[in-house]
């Protein structure tokens, strides 16, 4: 008499080890170091004795967890991996994989939900804080709106260092025109953690507002986001400004 074979589900039933692929439904329950191990699995260095789990743990420990690692550049990640004994060529590859994964996530988040309404500064901050609030460099974004204050497009206007951006008043206007915006909002972050607008923020905003009024595409708001909250940059009111 034939022996009945046990039924299988096609999913892993073993305890997960570093780099082992989980069942699709298990991904949401993975720990951070496990998820990172999956990311770096193709760029680990067995010859150096570094498993994906070892690589993930080393990076999270050095940068203080996922938020710190998300802010790290590829060069910083590479240095940590070389210090751990990874061969330089493999370290470059692994660093690009990790930094690229976080950058892809930021870009996906920055695309926004099509036709999302931005009716006041709080709505703008809710859009921008998850994307920009934890960055260690400044970024200026333009949010192009239609006639009912719905988000048509989000565009990065400029990226800078810890202390500022090199940007002209004409730069955001080009993005607004290309997006066929009825009006637009500017938003940028303060890496210091304090969202209080600086003198430079106010001066720049007024220049943009004046230029925007001349071409008939008004600047409706300029919001600063940071770890400690958000603030709206003061400038002369435009028709249809956000509340």
| Residue that terminates a domain, selected from 83, 109, 135 | 109
| Listed residue (61, 9, 3) closest to 36, CA to CA | 61
pLDDT per residue as tens digits for the range 151-173: 988 898 998 864 567 889 999 99
Residues 83 and 185 in one domain: no
Residues 135 and 196 in one domain: yes
| Residue that terminates a domain, selected from 109, 137, 161 | 109
The CA-atom distances, in angstroms, between 96 and each of 110, 113, 165, 198 are 20, 28, 25, 35
Distance of CA 123 to the CA centre of its chain: 17
Give the residues across from 243 on adjacent strands.
none
Residues 186 and 200 in one domain: yes
pLDDT per residue as tens digits for the range 46-94: 777 778 888 888 889 988 888 888 878 888 899 998 998 888 988 888 8
Give me the DSSP letters along 15-74. Answer: PP-TTPPPPGGGGGG--HHHHHHHHHGGG-BGGGTB-HHHHHHHHHHHHTSHHHHHH--H
Residues 158 and 223 in one domain: yes
Residues 223 and 120 in one domain: yes
How many domains does the chain divide into? 2
User: In this structure, is residue 203 part of a structural domain?
Assistant: yes
Residues 78 and 167 in one domain: no
Domain span at 36: 24-109
| Residue that terminates a domain, selected from 109, 138, 172 | 109
User: In this structure, is residue 239 part of a structural domain?
Assistant: no
Residues 198 and 223 in one domain: yes
User: In this structure, is residue 7 part of a structural domain?
Assistant: no
Confidence bin at 12 (pLDDT 50/70/90): very low
62 touches 80 (CB < 8 A): yes
- Does residue 20 register a pLDDT over 50? no
Residues 132 and 214 in one domain: yes
């Amino acid at each position: 008499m034939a022996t009945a074979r046990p039924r299988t589900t096609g999913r892993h039933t073993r305890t997960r080890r570093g780099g082992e692929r989980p069942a699709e439904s298990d991904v949401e329950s993975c720990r951070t170091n496990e998820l990172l191990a999956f990311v770096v699995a193709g760029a680990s260095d067995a010859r150096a004795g570094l498993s994906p789990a070892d690589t993930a743990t080393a990076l999270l420990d050095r940068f203080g967890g996922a938020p710190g690692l998300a802010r790290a550049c590829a060069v910083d990640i590479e240095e940590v991996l070389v210090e751990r004994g990874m061969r330089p060529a493999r370290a470059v590859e692994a660093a690009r994989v990790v930094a690229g994964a976080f950058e892809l996530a930021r870009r996906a988040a920055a695309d926004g939900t099509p036709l999302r309404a931005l009716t006041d500064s709080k709505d703008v901050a809710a859009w921008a804080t998850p994307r920009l609030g934890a960055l260690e460099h400044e970024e200026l974004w333009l949010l192009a709106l239609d006639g009912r204050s719905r988000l048509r497009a989000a565009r990065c206007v400029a990226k800078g260092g810890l202390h500022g951006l090199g940007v002209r008043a004409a730069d955001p206007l080009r993005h607004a025109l290309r997006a066929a915006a009825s009006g637009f909002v500017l938003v940028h972050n303060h890496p210091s953690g304090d969202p209080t607008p600086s003198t430079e923020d106010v001066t720049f905003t007024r220049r943009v507002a004046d230029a925007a009024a001349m071409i008939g595409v008004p600047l409706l708001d300029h919001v600063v986001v940071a770890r400690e909250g958000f603030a709206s940059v003061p400038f002369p009111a435009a028709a249809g400004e956000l509340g």
